[in-house]
Structure 1
Amino acid sequence: MGSGLHDATVVLARHGETTWNRERRIQGWAPTSLTDTGREQATALGRHLTDAYDVGRVVASDLRRTRETARPVARLLDCPVEYEHGWRERSFGVYQGLTYEEVFERHPEFAVHEIGIEAARTEPEGGESLLAARERVLDAWNRLVAALDDGETVVVVTHGGPLYVLLGHLRGQDLVTALTEHDQGNCAVSTVRLTDEGPVVVCDGDTAYRESGATAARNPE
């Protein structure tokens, strides 16, 4: 963090609902689109951020579902949006499109909740390990923080996986705990305040602002 940084704020948001969220399918880097509910969630997110924060810019994963979420958010905030590869979800390679149940039953070597950190080291064919994805996300976070101005507020639109690993890291949690003990619904909002004393998570996974009451099944992407 740069010297003298005072009360900068990063608002982290998950993308809106997709059909694969409803079906509990692993999305990874697949070009999945938002459902009608997901688009409504993105609009509600933009209105909430407009009311609650003085946002100067939006940064988003460059995958389709985050682009479709970030565009209406940035339009309502009347600010630019930058797309950043580092904020992508983990690539799950050849297993993208399968349900979580199918993958974890057939390939228990990926089940972090069952075998712990060893699963985070396992790399799917054509994809990346959880540890590699974590390092990519933390690199994107560190670059974002280094470029923040004093008092700036920036919104990051990303995915469940990056949110779990980043918020766990900021709280000093191990990776297994971060992935198994948190929940981030579609368009959930988490807020991190940055000061010279370090980052403080002041809001985690808030969806109470939404009026529609529509939620997707919990899954990390």
Structure 2
Amino acid sequence: MRTLYVVTHPEATHHVEGVVGGWHDSQLTAAGVRAAVTIARALRAQIPDGAEVELFSSDLRRTLRTAEEVAELFGVKPVLDRRLREKSYGEAEGRPQAWLDRRFVPPPALGERMDHDEGVRGAETKAVWAQRVYAAVDEILRNPCEHQIIVTHGGSLTCVVASWIKMPTESAGYAAFRAPSGSITTLREDDFFHNREVVSLGDARHLGSAPAG
């Protein structure tokens, strides 16, 4: 039995400042740090003592800080992987969200969605974004470890879950798995059929209540 716990980082400065995240290297707020401690404790309560645990994280400060709290409770060192970053929004990163909203070109309801140009210079297409997250997840799952933790971002959670259920990347253009900041998504694969289950999506009960994003 393999269980994968996917953590979306809690409140970061770009949330409260109203600026675009992406690869903008914002950090956790004081509330976010407190939430990261709570996340670590929630994971510790779910994973048996003595179990082998692997921890992977996006290398941006907000995810790394979250991973550090988890690492301390489990006595492991996080493996940093830039492929687990949020989608890059190019020149929009760090700018007011309204700046991006005025320029953003949404994908068509029908037609090419994965390679769609959103109208923002330097931004990743959804195809490039999905391909790098898929590659990171594939590499993580090559390790025969029973309990693995991934600390990533709210947007990239969709790519992690889509990869987990082996959704073809060309179909991921329509996928959206929403989860609150600071949530834990639990994925499990059984040893007999090797079916991959989404046990819970965006569970934030450990936080009491949390805003989406």
What TM-score results when the alignment is normalised by the length of structure 2?
0.85
Q: Which runs of 5+ in 2 are unaligned?
A: none
Quickly say closer, same or farther: Cα 1:42–1:33, change in 2 above 3 A.
same
Offset, 1:129:
1.1
Give CA-to-partner distance per residue, 1:74-130, whole Å, 9 cap, x none: 10222221111111111111111234443233232xx24x65664542264233211
Show the counterpart of 1:86: 83
Offset, 1:167:
1.7
Give CA-to-partner distance per residue, 1:12-54, whole Å, 9 cap, x none: 0011211212344221111111001100110000000001113
- Matches for 1:124-203 after TM superposition, within 5 Å: 124-149=120-145, 152-171=146-165, 172=167, 174-179=171-176, 182-195=177-190, 196-203=193-200
Match of 2:47 among 13, 35, 53: 53
1:73 pairs with 2:70? yes
Question: How far, CA to CA, are the matches of 2:60 and 2:195 in structure 1?
Answer: 30
Question: How far, CA to CA, are the matches of 2:129 and 2:99 in structure 1?
Answer: 22
Q: Is the 8 A contact 2:113 2:173 kept in 1?
A: no
Quickly say closer, same or farther: Cα 1:10–1:135, change in 2 above 3 A.
same
Q: Is the 8 A contact 2:137 2:163 kept in 1?
A: no
User: 16-25 or 66-75: which moved more?
Assistant: 16-25
Show the counterpart of 1:3: none
Question: How far, CA to CA, are the matches of 1:117 and 1:132 in structure 2?
Answer: 17
Quickly say closer, same or farther: Cα 1:205–1:118, change in 2 above 3 A.
same
Question: How far, CA to CA, are the matches of 1:117 and 1:65 in structure 2?
Answer: 35
Quickly say closer, same or farther: Cα 1:169–1:154, change in 2 above 3 A.
closer
Question: How far, CA to CA, are the matches of 1:59 and 1:15 in structure 2?
Answer: 13
Quickly say closer, same or farther: Cα 1:116–1:188, change in 2 above 3 A.
farther
Offset, 1:193:
0.8
Question: How far, CA to CA, are the matches of 2:180 and 2:58 in structure 1?
Answer: 17
Tell me the percent identity: 25
1:29 pairs with 2:23? yes
Quickly say closer, same or farther: Cα 1:19–1:158, change in 2 above 3 A.
same
Offset, 1:169:
4.5
Question: How far, CA to CA, are the matches of 1:140 and 1:148 in structure 2?
Answer: 15
What TM-score results when the alignment is normalised by the length of structure 1?
0.82
Q: Is the 8 A contact 2:126 2:173 kept in 1?
A: no
State the one-letter code of the partner of 1:34: L
Q: Is the 8 A contact 2:9 2:152 kept in 1?
A: yes
